[in-house]
Amino acid sequence: MKKFMKILFSKKGQGKFIEYLMTVILSMLVLVAVTTMVNTFYLNALEANIQQSLDQLASQVSNEIVRYHQFAKEVKTQPQINSSVLLYETTLKLPNTISSRNYEIILATSNPFWISITVSNISNVNMTPITRTPGAKVVARTTQDPIVSVEKDIPNIDMDVEGIVQNGVSATLRYYKFNTQNVIYNVVTFGEPGIITKITSVT
């Protein structure tokens, strides 16, 4: 023990101890850096894979709505006042999870938050607002980490859409024609049938 202490406290012993200590510290730093790089690469690859899958699902739902939109418009059947007619119904085949993560798909009619509006007031002169016509969206997103969200416009439809499906359960699209006080509305619902609530925002 005395011999070891003598070697340790000698200049040569101190140099070897410091060299050993620096080697250990450097090895730990390299290990941490490599682990961080591998973890970052994995998370980036996972998020990219999830986003691609969600984008495909959102496109699938959007395309299905557009596919039967014209058919629904051309149906001549008119519901009685304060009643509805089911024009079309189809159940989509959706996965239970996305990369082992739970997810949800939401249909929502655009609201002012999804409308691009520019209003300027320069020197007390009101400028003309520039607006973009609202439409409808499919929002697909994970409900577990990593949280990834995809929004897909549903083009060229003039009807309200609403509903939510979680983990592919009861993924049924229904096309209704409503007569409310002699005003006709076309509505697409997604998921379990229920009261029309008109979802207008997703937070």
pTM of the model: 0.69
**Is 126 buried (19+), middle (13-18) or exposed (0-12) by CB count in 10 A?**
exposed
Query: Does the structure show a pLDDT above 80 at 200?
Result: no
Domain boundary assignment for the chain: 2-190
Number of C-alpha atoms within 13 angstroms, CB side, residue 99?
20
Q: Which residue has the higher pLDDT, 14 or 188?
A: 188
pLDDT of residue 129: 41
CB atoms under 10 Å from CB of 51, counted, come to 17
41 falls in which pLDDT band (50, 70, 90)?
confident
Q: What angle do CA 32, 36, 39 make, to 5 degrees?
A: 140
Query: Does the structure show a pLDDT above 70 at 119?
Result: no
Residue among 163, 9, 14 at smallest CA distance from 91: 163
Mean local confidence (pLDDT), 82-103: 92
Query: Does the structure show a pLDDT above 50 at 36?
Result: yes
Residues 125, 128: Cα–Cα separation, whole Å = 10
